Amino acid sequence: MNSITLPNNLKKEQIFMLIIDCRESDSIDKALKKYKKKFEKSGTLKQIRARKAYIKPTVRRRTIKLKAAYRLKMANKYA
């Protein structure tokens, strides 16, 4: 068996394939709906958008802290 070698800049996490289980009786619309849901859950689009521009680590940490504080504030407001 031949083994596949990946280039150094390509990690194994970046290579994936969505597999949709559907029956022959399922319509194309139903299969497409399953695909869209699985694609959304995989977070691929979110990851692509995040990689469009570089965000400094300090800015990333600050936004995470601000979001956490906002969520806590909202949880206390409605609790």
Summary mean pLDDT of the chain: 84
Q: What does the pLDDT read at residue 64?
A: 96
pLDDT tens-place string over residues 10-24: 555 556 678 888 888
Residue 62 has pLDDT above 90, yes or no: yes
| Exposure b/e, 9-23, CB count within 10 A at least 16 = b | eeeeeeeeeeeeeee
